[in-house]
């Protein structure tokens, strides 16, 4: 089986600057204040993903998940190490990324599809499918600046999942949206998976990762600390236990409606 993603000894460092203007920087230097520092987002990360695998990437906030996804997508370059990908890459790294607020949903559909690698003919051929899946109705010709976060999510996800790709990247794609939309998204991602597309899925929702993925990677403070492919007797469930995401989290002020469990919410990508 061919390799879709190969990440070899990858590290990424960001610089954080505390002063925005030259005047602030000068004052800070005179006062001997710290003007900047570096942040190690990823440290010596290595793994491979084979064609057709569905891999879940998990970790606490700030662990480097989104950074790794952007490196794989080619949005950023690693400072150290190499990343190789095979085939066409598509996906949704941020809901509505690339949308222009002043443009209508229709215009943004064509623009975003082009950003994701679709040509005009492909987009026109799939236009009706994308619009039907997004289900934004009469708001298609309304500027997206008037959209709710849920409408942004529906349109952005709909465009992404209709790109014919060899690798599909998804970063918290189900974090926004109502229950029917989340159910439709999960069904669509299962369909993409069944077609043999490689899926690299970032989520905090343990149940959705467990149901969607064959394998799990866990990042902690920029380090790859768990890979179910190399851990003895490793599994998706093992990675979830490693993060303690299998432990129930309750809030005394929360109420669960009749017939609906917190577990089913988790399976649809809700934050619990």
Q: Which residues contact 143 (CB under 8 A, 6 or more apart)?
A: 101, 102, 103, 104
Residue range 17-75, pLDDT digits in tens: 665 666 666 666 666 666 667 788 999 999 999 999 999 999 888 888 989 998 998 88
- Provide mean pLDDT across the span 125-148: 91
- What pLDDT is recorded for position 24? 66
CA distance 268 to 263: 9
Q: What percent of the chain has pLDDT over 70?
A: 77
pTM over 0.85: no
CA distance 123 to 198: 22
Q: How many CB atoms lie within 10 A of CB 57?
A: 27
The mean predicted confidence, pLDDT, of the chain is 81
Q: What percent of the chain has pLDDT over 90?
A: 31
CA distance 188 to 31: 57
CA 144 vs. chain centroid, Å, equals 21
- What pLDDT is recorded for position 95? 60
CA distance 211 to 122: 31
Residue labelled with tokens 């998990």? 58
Topology at the third CATH level for domain 3-29+36-87+166-249+256-267: Rossmann fold (3.40.50)
Is the pLDDT confidence value at 221 over 80?
A: yes
- What pLDDT is recorded for position 197? 92
* Structure confidence at residue 254 as a pLDDT band (50, 70, 90): very low
**Which residue in 128, 170, 129, 167 sits closest to 153, CA to CA?**
170
């Amino acid at each position: 089986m061919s390799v879709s993603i190969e990440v070899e000894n990858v590290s990424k460092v960001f610089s954080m600057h505390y002063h925005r203007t030259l005047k602030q920087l000068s004052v800070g230097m005179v006062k001997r204040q710290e003007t900047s520092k570096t942040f190690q987002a990823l440290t010596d990360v290595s793994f491979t993903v084979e064609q057709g695998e569905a891999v879940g990437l998990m970790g606490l906030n700030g662990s480097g998940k989104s950074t790794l996804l952007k490196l794989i997508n080619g949005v950023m370059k690693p400072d150290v190490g190499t990343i190789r990908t095979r085939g066409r890459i598509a996906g949704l790294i941020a809901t509505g990324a690339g949308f222009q607020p002043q443009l209508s949903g229709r215009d943004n559909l064509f623009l975003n599809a082009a950003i994701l690698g679709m040509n005009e003919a492909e987009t026109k051929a799939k236009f009706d499918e994308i619009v039907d899946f997004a289900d934004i109705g009469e708001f298609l010709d309304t500027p997206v600046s008037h959209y709710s976060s849920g409408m942004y999510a529906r349109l952005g996800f709909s465009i992404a999942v209709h790109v014919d790709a060899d690798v599909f990247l998804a970063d918290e794609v189900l974090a926004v949206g109502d229950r029917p939309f989340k159910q439709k998204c999960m069904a669509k991602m299962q369909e993409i998976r069944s077609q043999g597309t490689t899926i690299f899925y970032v989520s905090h929702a343990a149940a959705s990762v467990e149901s969607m993925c064959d394998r799990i990677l866990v990042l902690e403070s920029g380090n790859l600390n768990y890979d179910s492919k190399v851990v003895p007797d490793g599994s998706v469930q093992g990675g979830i236990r490693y993060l303690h995401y299998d432990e129930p989290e309750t809030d005394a002020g929360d109420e669960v409606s009749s017939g609906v469990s917190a577990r089913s919410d988790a399976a649809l990508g809700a934050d619990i």
